[in-house]
Structure 1
Amino acid sequence: MQTLTVTSKGQITVRKEVLKHLGVRPGDKILLDLAPDGNVVLKAAPQKRHGIEVIFGILHDPNQAPLTIEEMNRVIADGWAGKR
């Protein structure tokens, strides 16, 4: 068990080991639930990730067949040639 000190502003600092255990990174949120017995439950909040993986498939039209590699290469070459 770890002991935390409360500042004059009523804040505490949670140690890195605890944050690592929760899987929390800078900018993430933490949920704190007050239990009826006077204890608290601390857990990581579900995170909305904003990385590149979020946009995969966002422009896909389900009514249109996916492009072949050859079609993709043609579009890329046309773009570099200034045709698009």
Structure 2
Amino acid sequence: MRLTQKGQVTVPVEVRRHLGLRPGDEVEFELDGRGARVVRAATEPSRGRRITDRLRGKGDVRLTTEQIMALTRGADDD
């Protein structure tokens, strides 16, 4: 990994998956005798994140893409 002039690095996808990190998540660096560790910040998730996490996987809507598009356009399905 290369450190940018702004001090940024890209966290590898396998590390993000393992830690369950998503865009917008807060992380912290913890220093130890060998270097630093990236850990999820000990902050409360936002209200929106809590709602979406709670609802994830609970939907049972069986519409085709065409039906969804018709609904968003206000067209009747007749």
- Please state if 1:45 is matched with 2:38: no
The structural deviation recorded for 1:20 is: 0.8
Gaps of 5+ in 2: 55-78
Q: Runs of 4+ in structure 1 displaced over 3 angstroms?
A: none
2:7: which partner in 1? 10
Which structure features the higher share of helix residues? 2
Gaps of 5+ in 1: 54-84
The percent of aligned pairs where both chains have the same amino acid is: 35
Name the count of aligned residue pairs: 49
> Between Structure 1 and Structure 2, whose CA radius of gyration is higher?
1
Structure 1 residues 4-83: aligned runs within 5 Å = 4-35=1-32, 37-46=33-42, 47-50=44-47, 51=51
Relative to structure 1, is the Cα distance of residues 39 and 49 closer, same or farther in structure 2, using a 3 angstrom cutoff? same
The structural deviation recorded for 1:29 is: 0.8
1:45 maps to a residue whose letter is A
